[in-house]
Amino acid sequence: MLNLLDIKPLPLATAGLDPVKGEIKSVPEDFVVEEIPAYEPAGEGDFLYLWVEKRDLSSPYMARSLAKALSIPSMEVGMAGYKDRRSVSRQWISVPGHLEKETDKVEIEGFKILRKSRHSNKLRTGHLHGNQFNILLRSNMDEQNQQKIKKLVERVTETGLWNFYGEQRFGKNLETLKIGLDLLAQDKEASRRPFYLRKLALSAVQSALFNEVLRLRITNNTHKKVLQGDVLCMLPQESKCHARNLQEDQARVDQGLMAVTGPMQGWKMYPKPTEEALLLETKVCESFGFKQEVWKGFGKFLMGARRCMVYPISELNLGFEADGVRLSFSLPAGAYATQLIREITQQDAAEEPEC
């Protein structure tokens, strides 16, 4: 039986090309990310939406600090998605509407409220289209490296971004992933961990298994090939459907209109793959000792979902500067900008844990 903690290096779409070594996140301003919301707040409703900027703060820490300042449980702070800690990030978050006056008194280092509005519902995970990135890769950008990075970007644009989860998903020294495995094993000490950490830890297990399914399909050259029973994702809306006509669906995938999805395992995954695709995913799960019943008993933590395996890349702009090269691009929700940088440097970034 394989051990999920024995994670092998992830494959590279740019293998065979010369990398451009460099550093990101030397200072938070080198990594700027701005959320692309799924909708704008309506201007009225029971929830207060805050367009905030955080600098060098993790999203969970920001949520906990804000909740403490407002004297509410951290679960009442809503956000559409986590942003990198070592960054300057702008995003919407929501809090109960009756706290509007109290938000004027909030003082958190590295945190600013830029504007406020109202909406009828709490902001929840997934309520965003994606993120816009502006990243400085600090490197010697002589003529040779400029040509190298152009070829690397051309390759990633051609192959699409292999949508692996980055190392930050699993915590420092895989600690978050270890906690998730302990939770699935009904470890009592793990079950006493804070709510936010238990949620992240179980998600880390899902993420690691997703990576292994994607790894296998890259090895089999089926990561962009529609198999019988696959669940597909329509782009850019990301609504899911089953493969119906393999030839027609394959043409849409080749055109970048659809993508093949992989599993975020859970007890209520919908839609669920069938036939050849289901057999492949079940094989990966069982190779690590996971049976389907293991996901039961964790409620909303492990309902399950589908995730695109490869995203088309478009409008990736390069700007050469004295300190390196600045990359400007957008990615759909859930895709990691650090995975794109990894394809260029061909080295794993020293990622900070999400919690």
- Give tens-digit pLDDT for 289-321: 999 889 998 888 899 999 999 998 878 999 999
If asked whether residues 287 and 220 sit together in one domain, one would say yes
If asked whether residues 181 and 252 sit together in one domain, one would say yes
If asked whether residues 286 and 177 sit together in one domain, one would say yes
Phi-psi region of 246 (alpha: psi -120 to 50; beta: other; left: phi over 0): alpha
pTM check: above 0.75: yes
If asked whether residues 190 and 305 sit together in one domain, one would say yes
Report which DSSP code applies to 285: H
Neighbours of 89 (CB within 10 A): 24
Distance separating alpha carbons of residues 303 and 185, to the nearest angstrom: 17
In CATH, what number is assigned to the domain containing residue 262? 3.30.2340.10
With respect to residue 154, please indicate whether it lies within any of the assigned structural domains: no
With respect to residue 19, please indicate whether it lies within any of the assigned structural domains: no
> How many structural domains compose the chain?
2
Supply the pLDDT for residue 353.
47
Distance separating alpha carbons of residues 146 and 165, to the nearest angstrom: 28
Instruction: Mark which of 295, 311, 327 sits at the end of a domain.
Output: 311
Instruction: Mark which of 101, 125, 149 sits at the end of a domain.
Output: 125
With respect to residue 341, please indicate whether it lies within any of the assigned structural domains: no
Domain that holds residue 89: 39-125
Return the CA Rg of the chain.
Answer: 21
Supply the pLDDT for residue 301.
85
If asked whether residues 100 and 166 sit together in one domain, one would say no
- Give tens-digit pLDDT for 188-200: 999 999 988 999 9
Q: Where in the sequence numbering do the catalytic residues fall?
A: 84
Of 340, 177, 312, the closest CA to residue 234 belongs to: 312
* 38: phi then psi, degrees, rounded to nearest 5: -75, -25
If asked whether residues 95 and 175 sit together in one domain, one would say no
With respect to residue 5, please indicate whether it lies within any of the assigned structural domains: no
Supply the pLDDT for residue 355.
43
If asked whether residues 94 and 213 sit together in one domain, one would say no
Distance separating alpha carbons of residues 166 and 204, to the nearest angstrom: 10
Distance separating alpha carbons of residues 164 and 184, to the nearest angstrom: 22
Distance separating alpha carbons of residues 268 and 70, to the nearest angstrom: 35
Instruction: Pick out the chain residues at pLDDT < 50.
Output: 353-355
Supply the pLDDT for residue 350.
55
If asked whether residues 174 and 269 sit together in one domain, one would say yes
Instruction: Mark which of 69, 104, 125 sits at the end of a domain.
Output: 125
Distance separating alpha carbons of residues 176 and 352, to the nearest angstrom: 12
With respect to residue 320, please indicate whether it lies within any of the assigned structural domains: no
Supply the pLDDT for residue 349.
64
With respect to residue 345, please indicate whether it lies within any of the assigned structural domains: no
Supply the pLDDT for residue 1.
78
Distance separating alpha carbons of residues 28 and 89, to the nearest angstrom: 9
If asked whether residues 290 and 184 sit together in one domain, one would say yes
Beta-carbon contacts of residue 244 (< 8 Å; ≥ 6 apart)? none
With respect to residue 103, please indicate whether it lies within any of the assigned structural domains: yes
If asked whether residues 181 and 307 sit together in one domain, one would say yes
In CATH, what number is assigned to the domain containing residue 110? 3.30.2350.20
Supply the pLDDT for residue 352.
54
* 75: phi then psi, degrees, rounded to nearest 5: -65, -20
If asked whether residues 210 and 97 sit together in one domain, one would say no
With respect to residue 99, please indicate whether it lies within any of the assigned structural domains: yes
If asked whether residues 75 and 180 sit together in one domain, one would say no
